[in-house]
Structure 1
Amino acid sequence: MRKNAVVPYAIIAVLGVLTVVIISFVGINQRADIQQAQDGGGEQTEQTQEGETAGGDADAVYQANCAACHGADLSGGAGPELTQVGSQYSADEIADIVQNGIGAMPAQSQVAGEELSALSEWLSEQQ
């Protein structure tokens, strides 16, 4: 009678292991798809940003490149708050910080040209 009692547990264990293996393979495939979508999505975002900033929309550049660390409202988060960054740095200094990084902040080389000018001017006005 004990052998029969063990069989259901063995079946459940085998089914559990098979389920984990199947989910792992599905996850690996989804991971590749997500990575590919992010790579393709990044290009679309950059194109959209260039189009938006051609009109001088520094807020759109900030939201796309800075808000994740510095907060959507400049209030800070992983990075320091920027509500009064203009009282500490000039537009040129801000542009240099964005391009080259400072402290724990990495360089944001994807922000360049007209976008960089618009962003640094806008941030220098935050006082």
Structure 2
Amino acid sequence: MKNKLLATLFGAALVLGACGGGGDKASDTPADTNDSGAETSGVDAEKVVQTSCVSCHGSNLEGQGNAPSIAKAGATHTEEELHDIIVNGQGAMPPMLKGEEADAVAAWLAEKK
């Protein structure tokens, strides 16, 4: 019984650990702008996605394993829905980001249609 419990906990730690990273890192990169030229924040959303999301969602955001494709996330989710998923997690995905990073990534993903 103990072995099953330990194996389950170890497996869960591996899965959740693979999706983590970069959650509280501050960025000192210049502000991003959206297609209309408006400043979105001082966070490089694409860089945050590369460090926090591609390990589960794939380098082209195409999805892999249990992680769905987010390459066209804006076509199926609003920016607010994406922000909620990023901050609170959903299904097997744990909470990933908060603050300006979550805001910037949600806005960036919402443009992917």
TM-score by length of 2: 0.63
Equivalent AA in structure 2 for residue 57 of structure 1: D
Q: Distance in 2 between matches of 1:87 and 1:73?
A: 16
Q: Distance in 1 between matches of 2:88 and 2:58?
A: 20
Q: Distance in 2 between matches of 1:104 and 1:114?
A: 23
Structure 1 runs of 4+ with >2 Å offset: 52-56
Flag the structure with higher helix content: 1
Match of 1:124 in 2: 110
Flag the structure with higher strand content: 2
Q: Is the 8 A contact 1:91 1:124 kept in 2?
A: yes
From 1, 25, 35, the counterpart of 1:46:
25
Q: Distance in 2 between matches of 1:124 and 1:92?
A: 9
Number of positions where the alignment pairs a residue of Structure 1 with one of Structure 2: 81
Q: CA RMSD in A?
A: 2.2
Q: Distance in 2 between matches of 1:63 and 1:102?
A: 19
Q: Is the 8 A contact 1:53 1:60 kept in 2?
A: no
Percent identity of the aligned residues? 38
What secondary structure does 1:118 align onto? helix
